[in-house]
Amino acid sequence: MKAKQKVAIVTGAAMGYKRGGSSIGGAVAIQLAKDGYKVVVVDKLRTGERTVELIKEAGGDAIFIRSDVTSTKAVKEIMSITKAKFGGLTCLVSCVARYSSGMAKSVAEISEDEWNTTLAVNLGGYFKCAKYAIPLMLKSGGGSIVNISSYASFASMPNFSVYSVAKGAIDAMTRSIAIDFAPKIRCNSICPGFVRIENSENGRTRKELKEWYGRIAKQYPMKRVAEVEEIANVVSFLVGDKASYINGQSIVVDGGKSVYDFHEF
Ligand SMILES: NC(=O)c1ccc[n+]([C@@H]2O[C@H](COP(=O)([O-])OP(=O)(O)OC[C@H]3O[C@@H](n4cnc5c(N)ncnc54)[C@H](O)[C@@H]3O)[C@@H](O)[C@H]2O)c1
């Protein structure tokens, strides 16, 4: 890489699949473009095109690669396209997640197939992108990785076993990468609480959404759920020079929910 150009890959960065609405990966890609990164938007959904449109409308530079991060061949292609188009890589943000009714089960109830398929995306997708991004980042002079984990790494939702397992492993992998590749590459994760995104609204009416978000908000000291930009802002900080000594950390972004004790005195 010639100049120290800022180039980021963001996986899971499509906008919402129905109306092109809010998504964490989309907000991250848009924020990094504002920070001066050339952005490679990766997602298996076509609405990754919408993320690129939004970045370009705001004067940024981005391309969309429609791809499946569980495929080694596809992930290698993402790296070669990034190198060919932008000359190198200085930032990776992994943000994919697979949800299905079959994976939302306890350890005793989930099928082995759902367990393995979910881990292949929610953990394997993070592993493969890191594995094939790191050599390119090293050749490009180093950089920063942020894995989007979840507060589920520390406290499980009922019947969401494999999701929590993947998030716990992502945080452990984050620490491994952090010590193996410092000082050239820093690696951290972000553990959000509930974040408002289009894809989880699931056809609820406006009234149902208000009630649903209201019920969830009551569990949060901030009395509201997080907006996607509030996660993207933390990514922007972590990958930037102002976080130059933060490495191997899992930053909880949950409005204080995890430090809230409900007991009466
Ligand atoms: N929304 C929340 O409340 C919340 C809370 C904590 C953590 N997170 C994490 O945020 C990240 C973003 O997810 P989200 O929950 O906001 O949902 P989302 O549906 O908006 O984003 C997930 C994206 O991953 C893409 N994806 C799934 N499998 C893929 C694959 N094999 N290859 C390429 N792309 C694939 C999907 O198409 C989707 O665009 C995930 O890591 C999730 O675990 C979300």
- Nearest-angstrom CA–CA distance, 220 and 126: 29
Q: Indicate whether 36 belongs to any domain.
A: yes
The pTM of this model reads 0.97
CA 223 to chain centre: 24
Catalytic residue among 99, 163, 213, 220: 163
- Which of 96, 127, 170, 219 to probe ligand 1 with, by most ligand atoms within 8 A of CB? 96
Counted domains in the chain? 1
What DSSP element (H or E) covers 252? strand 250-253
- Nearest-angstrom CA–CA distance, 64 and 66: 6
For the chain, count helices (H), then strands (E): 8, 9
Q: What is the DSSP string of 168-195?
A: HHHHHHHHHHHHHHTTTEEEEEEEE--E
Q: Indicate whether 261 belongs to any domain.
A: no
Note the pLDDT tens digit of each residue in 203-231. Answer: 899 999 999 999 999 999 999 999 999 99
- Nearest-angstrom CA–CA distance, 221 and 95: 26
Distances in Å between the Cα of 94 and the Cα atoms of 1, 23, 43, 205, 213 are: 22, 13, 11, 31, 26
Query: Who contacts 83 (Cβ-Cβ below 8 Å, separation ≥6)?
Result: 89, 136
Mean pLDDT of 144-148: 99
Q: Indicate whether 262 belongs to any domain.
A: no
Question: What's the token pair of residue 68?
Answer: 């499946």
Q: What is the mean pLDDT of the chain?
A: 96
Please state which of the ranges 2-6, 91-95, 199-203, 222-226 shows the lowest mean pLDDT: 2-6
CA-wise closest residue to 196 among 215, 224, 160: 224
Dihedral, 133, 134, 139, 144 alpha carbons, nearest 10: 100
Q: Indicate whether 215 belongs to any domain.
A: no
Ligand 1 neighbours, Cβ below 6 Å, are 12, 14, 23-25, 43-45, 68-70, 95-98, 121, 125, 148, 150, 192, 194-195, 197, 199-200
Tell me, yes or no, if 99 is annotated catalytic: no
Distance 265 CA to ligand 1 centre (A): 39
Distances in Å between the Cα of 194 and the Cα atoms of 10, 53, 58, 139, 256 are: 20, 27, 28, 37, 12
Note the pLDDT tens digit of each residue in 188-208. Answer: 999 999 999 999 998 899 999
Q: Indicate whether 66 belongs to any domain.
A: yes
Question: What's the token pair of residue 225?
Answer: 């759920």
Atom of ligand 1 nearest to the CA of 45: 37
Q: Indicate whether 25 belongs to any domain.
A: yes
- Nearest-angstrom CA–CA distance, 245 and 51: 31
Domain containing residue 46: 7-199+226-255
Distance 125 CA to ligand 1 centre (A): 11
The phi, psi pair for 14, rounded to 5°, reads -70, 150
pLDDT at residue 263 in the model: 81
Atom of ligand 1 nearest to the CA of 47: 39
Mean pLDDT of 91-100: 98
% of the chain beyond a pLDDT of 90? 96
Distance 97 CA to ligand 1 centre (A): 4
Q: Indicate whether 2 belongs to any domain.
A: no
- Nearest-angstrom CA–CA distance, 73 and 46: 19
- What is the DSSP secondary structure assignment for residue 69, as one 8-state letter? T
We report the CATH number of the domain holding residue 84 as 3.40.50.720
Q: Indicate whether 96 belongs to any domain.
A: yes
- Nearest-angstrom CA–CA distance, 138 and 158: 40
